[in-house]
């Protein structure tokens, strides 16, 4: 009879086995550049987190004036451009290869949720710049909420916005991206659609 140890052993071997995480072979169809886009998105996310931690650790007073901190801020900015750029290309790849097939529904959904959470995460980053541009964006966002009938939502002050951007949202996003990649490793990369042209010719014979 199955007990909790057996159940836990089975569940964890599907997630943690060496074969799951470090496969020695890769299907031929997954070797092209299109299949690297998810990893490029994930790499940009790592660069985002590292540069973000450096920025948060040194504080707002440093990143506007101090040379190395300007560099960290520029790295953070360009990492986010790369993150969204690669994520959109990755989205096209997974869409056009129908990558939700074969039990990959959760992978797809976790990816979609990551995209939805990434947008306000980036937006709160714009808002904590504190310059006229970010104040303008904050006013536009407030007008947007009002227009949607959400004017009753309490508007966060700068400190709350900072906390959301540097702690809450990145943590949530990290967990979701981790879950996404776990699912990808468990299921492997989706095989291409069957080649209907070849089959049609065969059937016609």
Q: What are the residues binding ligand HEM (CB under 6 A)?
A: 35, 37-39, 41-42, 45, 87, 90-91, 93-94, 97, 99-100, 104, 107-108, 111-112, 114-115, 118, 177, 180-181, 184, 189-190
| Closest approach of ligand HEM to the CB of residue 183, in Å | 8
| Closest approach of ligand HEM to the CB of residue 10, in Å | 23
Of 54 and 87, which has the nearer Cβ to ligand HEM?
87
For residues 134 and 45, what is the distance between their CA atoms, to the nearest angstrom?
Answer: 22
Task: Specify the DSSP class assigned to residue 155.
Answer: P
Of 111 and 127, which has the nearer Cβ to ligand HEM?
111
| Closest approach of ligand HEM to the CB of residue 54, in Å | 21
DSSP-derived 3-state class of residue 16? helix
Of 38 and 164, which has the nearer Cβ to ligand HEM?
38
Four-residue CA torsion sign, 64, 70, 74, 77: negative
| Closest approach of ligand HEM to the CB of residue 181, in Å | 6
For residues 188 and 21, what is the distance between their CA atoms, to the nearest angstrom?
Answer: 10
Distances (CA, A) of 160 to 14, 58, 77: 40, 18, 21
Q: The tokens 């095989």 sit on which residue?
A: 191
Of 73 and 177, which has the nearer Cβ to ligand HEM?
177
| Closest approach of ligand HEM to the CB of residue 140, in Å | 25
Element (H, E) at 95: helix 67-96
DSSP-derived 3-state class of residue 153? coil
Of 76 and 180, which has the nearer Cβ to ligand HEM?
180
């Amino acid at each position: 009879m199955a007990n909790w140890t057996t159940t836990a052993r089975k569940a964890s071997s599907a997630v943690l086995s060496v074969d799951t995480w470090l496969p020695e072979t890769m299907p031929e169809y997954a070797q092209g550049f299109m299949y690297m886009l998810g990893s490029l998105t994930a790499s940009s996310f790592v660069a985002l987190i590292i540069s973000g931690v450096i920025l948060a650790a040194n504080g707002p007073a440093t990143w506007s004036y101090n040379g190395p901190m300007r560099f960290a801020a520029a790295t953070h900015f360009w990492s986010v451009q790369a993150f969204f750029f690669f994520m959109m290309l990755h989205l096209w790849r997974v869409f056009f290869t129908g990558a939700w097939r074969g039990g990959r529904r959760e992978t797809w959904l976790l990816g979609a949720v990551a995209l939805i959470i990434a947008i306000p995460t980036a937006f709160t980053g714009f808002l904590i710049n504190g310059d006229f541009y970010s104040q303008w964006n904050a006013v536009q966002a407030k007008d947007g909420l009002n227009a949607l009938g959400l004017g009753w939502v309490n508007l966060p002050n700068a400190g709350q916005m900072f906390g959301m951007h540097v702690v809450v949202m990145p943590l949530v996003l990290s967990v979701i991206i981790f879950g996404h990649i776990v699912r990808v490793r468990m299921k492997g990369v989706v095989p291409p659609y069957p080649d209907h042209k070849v089959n049609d010719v065969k059937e016609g014979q």
